[in-house]
Structure 1
Amino acid sequence: MPGTRRVPAGHEQVVSLYDFITSDKNDILSLARAKIMARRWPTVSALELEHGLPLFLSQLSETLRLRSSSEPFSSTAIGNSAGKHGGEALAKNFSVAQLVHDYGDLCQAITETAVVKHVAISAKDFQTLNGCLDDAIAGAVTEFSRQREEALGDGEAERLGYLTHELRNRLSTAMLSFAAVKSGRVAVAGSTGSIVERSLAAMRDLLDTTISEVRLAAGSQEPKRMSIARFLHEAEGAASLQAAQREMNVTFADVPDDVMVKADPQLLSSALFNLIQNAFKYSVPHGYVTVRTVCADALVSIEVEDECGGLPEGNSEAFFTPFGKRRGQDRTGLGLGLNISRKAVKAFGGDITVRNLPGKGCIFTITVPVSA
């Protein structure tokens, strides 16, 4: 059988990980398949064994080759190709759990085969292996989740069913990514750890939007007289944390201390954060989001300006319809946020509007009446 030549214990060969994978590919895949077949969960399919494992091993091998050669290497190469794997996995009815466990089992098979054959792999190559594992899990899980959400959004009309799918998928993604981090195979601060953080934040946003919708449907809004300056000061702290997580910049302009409005604090907060999160989502990387307040004609306007590059042409009211028009290519979320936010603000006499800044961005504005 072709493969790395066995040597007596204590006489390990020092070879590159690329050469080892190239020469012992069949043995590695055989051990990985045995590991996968032996696990009780998640379930496995023949297609997964024949398609998924060789694909990732080829991706890993190519990554190692490029890193050891003079050819230019893209730091996103394996993440992109693993993302393609994630999309293919969805099309073949694999689960996101299968993807995560497959990558882990295959990498474990690589290290165990090296031990059995007394092949010494350098620390640098093992570091590359762990980095590739992290990037592959993150890329595959992210693309799998994105395509699954998009497919649900196209065909799901019932909000409750869609919400259930969204929450379950986000929770599954967070749990599996956390399991990969907990196993020690990937670093907490790596790409997979970031998926846990993003999944939890997405669940928080989904629940916040749902709470607002439930309260509106029940007619349980509770408007009260409140200081807009204090409200925005509290919002600034939370928005700054989210901006740091997304590597964005947010600025809150000063507002007079004596301006009072009558609004439901939870509904107004939910509406404002929906606009801020959309601004982070659609703005250019490391872009700037500005929140300012304008007081005129017995109205208080809270403006959220972003750097999305401008809105697509067409009726801007379409952004406020359920499952309505979207900005950019990002299709995450329910597609209900703006619709629910506008209903919430209108419940206490306000409104939400949008103004386009072609070539630069746009401004979404929450307007509420001043309280005498």
Structure 2
Amino acid sequence: MEFFSDEALAIFVPILVYWVYSGMYMALGESMDMYRLHSRKQEDSKNLVSKLEVATCVLLQQLVQAAIAAVTFMLTGDSSLTVAYDNKEAQGSSSYRYQRVARQFAVAMVVLDGWQYAWHRYMHHNRFLYRHIHSWHHRLVVPYAFGSQYNHPIEGLLLDTLGGALAFVVSGMSPRASIFFFSLCTIKGVDDHCGIWLPGNVFHLCFWNNTAYHDVHHQLHGSRFNFSQPFFVTWDKVFGTHMPYVLEERPGGGLQSRPLMTRASHNGGSNDENATASLEFFSDEGLAIFVPILVYWVYSGMYMVLGKSMDKYRLHSRKGVQARSRVGRQRNPLVLALKKSVAL
């Protein structure tokens, strides 16, 4: 893999973007105090981990991400989807290329949002996972920019690394497109954790899931709400874990995001408990039903997407599989009956 190849850039550019963008927020210093959602004193007193530990843990996670990204690119580099993309990109118009990349971005955003919501909420739902894994991230009660990727290594692997690999494979984007997509994800994640409500911030204008929205989740009384990340609030609204907020001036200067606690939470139960009562999708029984089905299609889909890059490892050639298969569309009685009914 050449250092300046698309694959290498897709691995290292998001890491560089992470430290440059978060460094810009940190360098702004006291000039941004009027826009901070928490005071500096709260940042020092409430957080349970030092910034040196945070930086060390983030670098470790990024090393793992780089290794898995390299393996993913090696496995999918010659896949049929990538080859088809390159051929159409070379032959098609620029408008076609942009439309295709936009569709891939949309698919990847939906996949990543769904993956991270499911794991994020389950890690709060499961006491063992929260106590031993996800609680690392919540040591930052007052989040800041370069703490965005501060997680337990297992959480970093499950949510960010594997979630990103899945979004890349399912969307079928090229390594070159992934440079921009994962840089966008990185910037969005840093922005959501920066703790600064900067006027005119494009992410605050384009997304309801933003710095203040995620800040509610990091507050002690809001940790069972606003699980959605990094782009949309859709899953929170679907599953009843959406907590609205209001921005107001903080005593002593600056701003604060105050959760608008609903009537249900004041009547002896949280929104999360009421949502669980009405929709048991995340109960053990619900997960036992739907997770194996999801795993089936995701895992088998990854094999299908790998395409021709896996031909040297196949036990039968593609031609042999097609010739020997006894199940064909023409022999399927349901398909034949449907064709006859259409013909009539």
TM-score > 0.5 by shorter chain: no
> Which TM class, normalised by the smaller chain length?
0.3 to 0.5
TM-score, scaled relative to structure 1 = 0.30
Structure number with bigger Rg? 1
Per chain length, whose mean CA-contact separation is higher, i.e. which structure has more relative contact order (CA < 8 Å, sep 6+)? Answer: 2
As a proportion of its length, which structure holds more strand? 1
